[in-house]
Structure 1
């Protein structure tokens, strides 16, 4: 039990600044909506307003506006279905049996995503109020509109969220993870690696596409966070790499998958592919070690910006990797066909890896100095 509790505790992370600010904004929006409806509308139990305000403090201002339309439609539907069923039946339980199936079906049927849940829950709250007259229904709808307006205003005015920093952090993980994997490979292949260790390398390479998917999702959030952001004209900005960066590292990840798969198969007893000789693996280790340094240099370039010293070091490591690959190719002429198959696969994978790491027309050496569409970031960054 102690070990289990330790694992749970180690997996708990403190909320970051973005999460903390958004939570405080949602709480402030709810309190403000409650105060406005209680003072202006004199509502004794103005639950709809703070509820809508909390729901509309979203991750982007655009998402708050889009969700507001869906939320208002769902809450209005739930209110009208509940009030109509109660007026017809005159019984709360009977009205609930009529209104809930209809509102749940409506929320699941319409393309409103998570907002569909607000239709049946609003119907429950309206029935709990116990007043179904036309003025009461209008009061509930007005409370919802006021809460939605407060939630959108707070999210748009008080540190409107942007996500460019999150894109930059994820972009940095791509060369960092590739560098670490290449370093592990360079050290591991000169030892007597077994099938389990080689499988671990291939599994680590298989996690790289997941990082790419996360980066693409973050780019979508970053682009969306600039839409209708009232602070987009401010000068402060967080540079992020262009999408060419993603393409290059997706190709590098594919080559690492190929290389690690070949190493795994040469270590497996179920395959007929023989393990390469120690001399070849030594040359291959030098190739992977130099390629690891190239990836580390790319991480530095991404984080600190390109300078002549860093670019020269990167070019030197890349040249070293090519010299080591040329030495490794000399072993292709000696072994038999089975051994030549494994050597050829590894050499081809390393050749493609170095080609992908070679600067060219589309190589993303320099980062973008401005966010997408010329807009700068503002507010709370993630």
Structure 2
């Protein structure tokens, strides 16, 4: 009992610290946490406004429909608000009509539920409606439970829904309309920043003597970079969607800086593939029982300068991606780092020629090392930020 209680307490502490960190970041600077807080406050404000109009001023018979719709339509993008609003209007209208028809046919609430709910649940599962499908069946339940079946009641349901949709979409579009460009730029920066950190770690630990466990950790970190690529693809999709129907673009005096083309993503996908292969090779050639002969120490001594230079290239790219809109940065530092990387690779290639004449087994590992680092060099050249 003591161990589960301790683990549960640790989870609670970790969750509390995570929530506290998110709250602190929301107050201290722009970022995903602040964006989420703004969207949450907008949703709450839209629901209050919808209730004030429908319930307090209009005194609608089922005023709940207006704030219920409004709070759901403050979505992550203006385009998604419009699309979701159309879906909800269709589903709520369908749920209302089906429920009223079921009562007209049966004359009994219980029998009407048995008739209406299977139809509305099936309608809600239509793929085109996505996550909004639940509104058809829940609207039918509201109508049946509240006993609002007449043509006047149906008209009110539709008007209340339309009111909530207009308020929700209007609040999302006119009050700090969401733009996900910052999320995409942050995802872009993460790849070269984390790539540079990994390259420096590998170089440092090779210089001081690494073991198999360290090499396996390099491989795990390289594989985690594929998750950054997936996050970047998602962020680009959200950015494209957030720019549709967004009035903020007309309000801004200066257009936001453009993102690099998707060719940059493809180049980094190849960088991650070769970095993963390189770390796998180093892991398999390390330890007391390596799967193949490890590179000689004098060959490994030529690897850190190459990796340090590649890390410098990644860091200059990260700095270029982080810059505000304006003229292109001076890329002489990147060119100088690439030159140093190629010089170090030429030394490594010369070592391969020497090892080929001495020991075929070590030549295999040195050849793999030379090939993978060469591919890294070519791919990082193609990943230049313009």
- TM over 0.5: same fold? yes
Report the counterpart of residue 265 of structure 1 in structure 2: 284
Q: Distance in 2 between matches of 1:240 and 1:185?
A: 33
Give the helix-richer structure, 1 or 2. 2
User: Bigger CA drift: 25-34 or 175-184?
Assistant: 25-34
The 5-angstrom pairing of residues 1-382 of structure 1 reads: 1=6, 2-12=9-19, 13-14=22-23, 16-38=33-55, 41-233=58-250, 234-243=252-261, 244-267=263-286, 272-304=291-323, 306-308=328-330, 311-332=331-352, 333-334=354-355, 335-358=358-381, 364-366=384-386
Q: Deviations over 1:182-216 (max 9, x none)?
A: 01111122344333322211111112122112112
2: CA distance, partners of 1:69 / 1:151: 12
Q: Distance in 1 between matches of 2:11 and 2:248?
A: 46
User: Alpha carbons of 1:21 and 1:229: their partners in 2 closer, same or farther (altered >3 Å)?
Assistant: same
Q: State the TM-score, normalizing by the size of structure 1.
A: 0.88
Higher relative contact order (CA 8 A, sep 6+): 1
| Equivalent-residue separation in structure 2 for 1:266 and 1:22 (angstroms) | 51
User: Secondary structure at 1:111's aligned position in 2?
Assistant: helix
Partners of 2:127 and 2:348 lie apart in 1 by: 61
More deviation in 327-336 or 292-301? 327-336
Answer yes or no: is the 8 Å Cα contact 1:241–1:364 preserved in 2. Answer: no
RMSD between aligned alpha carbons?
A: 2.0
Q: CA deviation at 1:171?
A: 1.0
User: Matches of 2:336 and 2:37 in 1, distance apart?
Assistant: 45
Contact 1:182 1:288 in 2 (8 A): yes
**Alpha-carbon distance in structure 1 between the residues aligned to 2:341 and 2:39:** 47
Comparing 2-11 with 281-290, which one deviates more in the overlay?
2-11
Q: Give the whole-Å Cα distance in 2 for the aligned partners of 1:151 and 1:292.
A: 47
The 10-residue stretch of structure 1 (35-44 or 59-68) with the greater mean CA deviation from structure 2 = 35-44
Deviation at 1:270, TM superposition (A): 7.0
Report Cα offsets for 1:20-52 as digits up to 9, x if no partner.
111111111111111222356421440111111
1:242–1:364 Cα contact (<8 Å) kept: no
Instruction: Evaluate the alpha carbon distance shift between residue 101 and residue 329 of structure 1 in structure 2; reply closer, same or farther with a 3 A threshold.
Output: same
Unaligned runs of 5+ in 2: 1-5, 27-32
Q: State the 1:7 CA deviation.
A: 2.0
TM-aligned CA distance change 1:205 to 1:81, over 3 Å:
same
Gaps of 5+ in 1: 367-382
Q: Aligned residues, how many?
A: 361
